[in-house]
Amino acid sequence: MVLVIIFPLYTAPIVQNIVAIINGAEKWERTFAIDFYILFSIEPWFYYVVFYLWTGFYMVYSLILLFSSEIHFYTMSLLVSIEFENLADEFGRFDYKYQDKEDFKKLIDQHNELLDIVDELNSLYRVPIFIKFLDSTVLICFSMLQFFSPDVLIVSTKIADIMNIIKFALYLNGSIMQIFLLCFYGQKITSANEKISENLMNGNWYEAADRKMVKDLHLVLLRSQRPVELQAYVFFGINMETFTYVISTAHSYFSCLNSIR
pLDDT single digits (tens) 72-125 = 888 999 999 999 999 999 988 888 877 778 888 888 899 999 999 999 999 988
Q: How much is the pLDDT for 160?
A: 53
Q: How much is the pLDDT for 234?
A: 76
How far is Cα 44 from Cα 251, in angstroms, rounded to an integer? 48
Q: How much is the pLDDT for 51?
A: 79
Q: How much is the pLDDT for 222?
A: 82
What residues have CB less than 8 Å from 132, skipping those under 6 apart? Answer: 178, 179, 182, 232
Mean pLDDT by 10 residues, the chain (261 residues): 60 74 76 69 78 76 73 90 92 82 87 91 89 84 72 52 68 82 92 88 78 80 82 86 88 80 63
Q: How many CB atoms lie within 10 A of CB 139?
A: 19
Q: List Cα–Cα distances, 30 to 74, 159, 212, 260, in angstroms.
A: 39, 17, 78, 40
